[in-house]
Chains A and B, each alone.
Chain A
Amino acid sequence: AQKVTQAQTEISVVEKEDVTLDCVYETRDTTYYLFWYKQPPSGELVFLIRRNSFDEQNEISGRYSWNFQKSTSSFNFTITASQVVDSAVYFCALSEAGSPGAGSYQLTFGKGTKLSVIP
């Protein structure tokens, strides 16, 4: 069975500090997908990034960067120069590829990390 662990329940940083959110996953599939979502106080989950299991390239998008390491089953998320607007709950999620129609596309979520950026 697939599992996602976000060991950090809550993190507080001062504005402009860098912060890394950890994500460790478990799966038996060789083909799978990893995601990060942001949940601001409004409640809606906002998609941030998707990475498939065959692509271990790190990715940078503005102040956001992601480090995917299959050797340690980790998909960590770093926010550089944090801002108050980054305050939210961040979820890491895993989806196994399965076969068409097999119903294996649902996401398994970690419990989330609540990030508070203090001005």
Chain B
Amino acid sequence: DGGITQSPKYLFRKEGQNVTLSCEQNLNHDAMYWYRQDPGQGLRLIYYSQIVNDFQKGDIAEGYSVSREKKESFPLTVTSAQKNPTAFYLCASSIPAGDGTEAFFGQGTRLTVV
């Protein structure tokens, strides 16, 4: 079955550590996205990538980094510079055509700082 796989589902991080969230898709989509969800805040865009080896900052990129070495993979690193990383992180992908095709989402990773 085609879809988006995020791992792990739950992640605990000690303060000062970097952690990497995995996102893999087998939908052959060119575009991939990372969103952060906080209670009552909706979803906010962290980074997006329209094509391999290229990515752009979203609205809240500070303290995060990404890479796009393969079309199928778009990992997100939460660095120690991110002051409040506890949140629910969602990865998505889409065909970046001009007709507003819908984005497909993974099941999310819940990150908690301990």
Contact = CB atoms under 8 A, between A and B. Distances in A.
Contacts of B107: 42-44
A103 B105 contact: no
Interface in A73-114: 91, 95, 97-101, 103, 105-107, 109-112
9 contacts: A44-B106, A44-B107, A44-B108, A50-B102, A99-B98, A103-B48, A106-B33, A109-B44, A110-B42
Contact of A45 (B41, B45, B90): B90
Interface of A: 9, 32-33, 35, 37, 42-47, 50, 52, 91, 95, 97-101, 103, 105-107, 109-112
Given A9-B40, A45-B90, A112-B42, A105 B96 contact: yes
Interface residues of B, number: 30
Interface string B35-63: 10000111111001010000010100000
Contacts of A52: 99-100
A33 B48 contact: no
B66 interface: no
Contacts of B110: 43
B31 interface: yes
A50 B100 contact: yes
A111 B40 contact: yes
Contacts of B41: 111
Interface string B76-94: 0000000000001010101
Contact of A43 (B31, B48, B88, B99): B88
A21 B109 CA distance: 27
Contacts of A112: 42
A42 B110 CA distance: 11
Contacts of A100: 96, 98
B22 to A, nearest CB: 16
Nearest to B51: A101
A4 B23 CA distance: 27
Contact of A97 (B35, B50, B58, B98): B98
B41 to A, nearest CB: 6
